[in-house]
Amino acid sequence: MRRRIAAQLLAFSMALAVALAAGPAPAAAGAPSDTSGSPGSRLYTPEANPGAYRQVVGLLRDGRYADASGVLAMVRTPQAVWFGDQTPAEVERRARAVVRDAARERAVPVIALYNVPGRDCSNYSGGGASTTAEYRAWVDAVARGIGRHDAMVVLEPDSLALLPADCGQDDEQGTKTSARYTEVNHAVVALERLARTKVYLDTGHPGWHSVNSIVPRLIRGGVGEATGFFTNASNYRTEEDSHWYGTLISSCIGHVEDGGAVADCPDQFWPRADAEAWIADNVTTPVSRMKHFVTDTSRNGLGPWSAPAGKYTDAQEWCNPPGRGLGDRPTTATGDPLYDARLWIKIPGESDGLCLRGTAGPQDPERGMVDPAAGAWFPEQALELVRLAQSPLPRR
């Protein structure tokens, strides 16, 4: 039996590897999981990074069947489709292919847009559109591609948590930061007006901005016109912390929309009981009108990494930290009316970039190797995530 299963996995993986080597299919190959049991709530599984299939084939050839099955199960779990850097014509074509493929599977795709000018403050994942006009045209092309199909859009990770003004890339007049808000607002309007698209704005994560800091950015970014916001994208904060952060942000937005002051809102550093009492006494907005949220649980199974004290001048805790595990599996069944879904936004197994942690490099001193470039497949990290997963992955 074991040999037969191994042979089937090897044949399947090698066929996929050959197909991927020939180039991407015109539409992503879906293998969605029924995450909640209710119609229309299944989340879509896109075509995986080709490096994942090459890793699976290599593991099978080495007789490491459990590891191969685990990596294969990971990449066949619903996760986001990322768009960025394509031309308008190309992104329109790709978006249309994804939403149509998802519709055939009766699943909802999660689309992460990552093309805002000056993204990531020109760091590891720098790039994006050159101008506001170029970005508007690109977003409009995405909207045409989605059309009347179902989609959940994670709009520009780091776009609001990491403004040009935050990293010294703006002028005294705040020209680039003002443009960032213009760009995000345009995207919200262009995408949220689609019949079956939900748009979520960036909040960073609960270890970054306080509630009082991020809520004004969300409001200026157009969250009033959006379905809501997302948190913990590509980060490692626990499910409990992310859920609570989302609850506090939604409550604060409701309070402000009712005429309250953002400075009065409790943040994630308040005692939990005090914050809950404040919400009960001050938030009068009906749940049906409050902003919803989603979280990224792709790599937060063991929470954030803490670097050894005093070891690094810049530990880069967010960058390929060692010993992390997959978090909760994606689902729209969260048990909270404000909490739309736990998602795998960041593709688990893809590198965060070259992590030097304040050293001269070129190796990551925590791993003793040169980390792959941002977005490239990282076999060693993929195995860590699978082996240390919070919940065992179903073997495929």
- Sorted by where each begins, the domain ranges of the chain are 2-387
pLDDT tens for residues 334-387? 999 999 999 999 999 999 999 999 999 999 999 999 999 999 999 999 999 999
Determine the CATH number of domain 2-387. 3.20.20.40
pLDDT at residue number 147: 98
Q: Give the closest residue to 228 by CA, choosing from 294, 279, 284.
A: 294
352 is catalytic: yes
pLDDT at residue number 127: 79
274 is catalytic: no
> What are the structure tokens assigned to 360, written together?
């001269």
CA distance 154 to 111: 6
pLDDT tens for residues 236-282? 999 999 999 999 999 999 999 999 999 999 999 999 999 999 999 99
pLDDT at residue number 19: 41
Q: Are strands 292-296 and 197-202 parallel, antiparallel or unpaired?
A: unpaired
Which among 150, 352, 364, 371 is annotated as catalytic?
352
258 is catalytic: no
CA distance 103 to 257: 36
Those residues of the chain that have pLDDT short of 50 are 1-6, 15-40
pTM given for the model: 0.90
Which among 101, 120, 267, 296 is annotated as catalytic?
120
Which among 158, 296, 340, 371 is annotated as catalytic?
158
Q: What are the backbone dihedrals phi and psi of residue 22, each rounded to the nearest 5 degrees, phi first?
A: -80, -10
pLDDT at residue number 12: 54
Mapping DSSP onto H, E and C, the string for the chain reads CHHHHHHHHHHHHHHHHHHHHCCCCCCCCCCCECCCCCCCCCECCCCCCHHHHHHHHHHHHCCCHHHHHHHHHHHCCCCCEEECCCCHHHHHHHHHHHHHHHHHCCCECEEEECCCCCHHHHCCCCCCCCCHHHHHHHHHHHHHHHCCCCEEEEECCCCCCCCHHHHCCCCCCCHHHHHHHHHHHHHHHHHHCCCCEEEEEECCCCCCCCHHHHHHHHHHHCHHHCCEEEECCCCCCCHHHHHHHHHHHHHHHHHHHCCCCHHHCCCCCCCHHHHHHHHHHHCCCCHHHCCEEEEECCCCCCCCCCCCCCCCCCCCCCCCCCCCCCCCCCECCCCCCCEEEEECCCCCCECCCCCCCCCCCCCECCCCECCCCCCCECHHHHHHHHHCCCCCCCCC
Rg of the chain (C-alpha set):
21
